[in-house]
Amino acid sequence: MASFTLNNDYHFLRFFDTHDLNNPFGVAVKEMSQKPDGNIHEGKSILARLHPGITTFSNKLEIYGLVIDGFKLQQLIEEIHDGDLVVNRQADEKTKSAGSDSEKTKGVIYQKEKLKKLESQLQVKKEDLRHREEEYEKLKKEVKTLRAAQNKGIMGSVYREYCRDKSFEKRLQQLFAVSGEMHVVLAFARDYDESDIHTDGAFRVSFDQENVTPQFIANFKKNLPPNSIVKFFLCIGNRNEKYPFRIVHKDKWIAKATSSLQGIIKRYGFDGIDVYYTRIHTQFKDFVDAIGTVINNLMINGTITTASLAPCHFMNAMSYEFYDELYNRNHHIFDYVVYQTHDDAHSNPLNNPQALITDFNDLVSNHNYPKHKLLVGHSILLKDWDAVPYPVILSALPQLFRDDTVKGTSVWTLTENLE
């Protein structure tokens, strides 16, 4: 009894009639195979000759252990007389009708080629996406650089912010790449008690002590980006009539102010003091002596390393000499002069950028404030724009920086009820 065995998925058997004159129903068997090029190749030699017309068909076909016995095979051969029977690997142990698998094999190869092509296309898309992402990141950096340059054109190399709570934290984190040096000025410390009674030099803080704690300031400084410069200032003074500068006994005021301010500064870790009084109810000489002496004392004992002044036109309208004299006598201890435009005393709003530029040139020429110490102070509060509208500030700043008239900008963020 003949036996035909297939060895792999790419080989199969072909049954065809031989048209033998002695037996017109003779059937020959050849082995077929699928080549890498996808074409079907027929074996050269005939594996067997079957003669179902002469005797009972007793041969069997074995495919990977699955056997088609002679009777069934004879039926199949007779059914395909004058045709071809192609038999490939069977999927289970049940006998299945032998049929043509060549198309299925071609289909499998086609699907593999299609998958390979799709995978290649996918890889191309991935590379394209990677390049696009790289281009996006590059453009994002360029935009950031351009914005930084643009912001620097209206901020300068020093940016200062007056505040009373910790809202400065997020704002300054967005500006580290823009400004070379930043100041946080916490306002205010005053020599008035909780009942608003004057204490003649005994200062206490009025900013948000619940959220702006010594630990908060220490952590903020600790987490600064590399090479960044941030200085914390304690602002003493007022912006309204409620807490004017007063002295009852000058020597006692100096002693109490030195002691109380030293305690506050050391507790919170301030780097310096800012002097911002818009109302002064004393002689200018006492003001100059008292403030100058206290700041010198704090410098000498190492409590602070820097100090600043915040003059304005409003102050000059009362007395020309207060801040000018304070600076002239103590110019070596004041590193910054913040001219507060929103406290201007012009009878009409300053709507011309050139007029504002003229004011700063006057500060340099006639008040002897050095250009490298001057900061342009302005407010983000709408009520303060009555003096100098914000667009005027923005229009004047580029020229002030181009001419090196000022070094930076200062922003007031406190609302009136907190001043």
What is the tens place of the pLDDT at every residue in 59-94? 555 554 555 555 565 566 555 444 444 444 333 333
* pLDDT band for position 127 (cuts 50, 70, 90): confident
What contacts 401, CB < 8 A, 6 or more positions away?
153, 154, 156
**Can you tell me the mean pLDDT for 98-114?**
63
**Can you tell me the mean pLDDT for 177-204?**
91
Judge whether residue 95 has pLDDT over 50: no
- pLDDT for position 323: 92
* pLDDT, tens only, 110-124: 777 878 888 888 888
**Can you tell me the mean pLDDT for 44-63?**
58
Judge whether residue 403 has pLDDT over 90: yes
Beta-bridge mates of residue 31:
13
Sheet with 3-6: list strands edge to edge. 3-6, 60-63, 66-68
- pLDDT for position 299: 97
Judge whether residue 393 has pLDDT over 70: yes
Judge whether residue 416 has pLDDT over 80: no
Specify the residue for token string 């103590």. 330
Residue 365 and residue 247: Cα distance in Å, rounded? 32
**Can you tell me the mean pLDDT for 309-329?**
76
Name which of 48, 44, 59, 63 is nearest 18 in CA terms: 48
pTM recorded for the entire structure: 0.65
Name which of 298, 297, 322, 302 is nearest 312 in CA terms: 322
What contacts 96, CB < 8 A, 6 or more positions away?
90
- pLDDT for position 83: 45
The rounded percent of the chain whose pLDDT value lies above 90 is: 42
* pLDDT, tens only, 286-317: 999 999 999 999 999 999 999 999 987 655 44
284-300 vs 321-329: helix axis angle to the nearest 10? 30
- pLDDT for position 140: 62
284-300 vs 250-268: helix axis angle to the nearest 10? 40
* pLDDT band for position 396 (cuts 50, 70, 90): very high
* pLDDT band for position 44 (cuts 50, 70, 90): confident
* pLDDT band for position 97 (cuts 50, 70, 90): very low
Specify the residue for token string 């696009």. 132
Judge whether residue 96 has pLDDT over 60: no
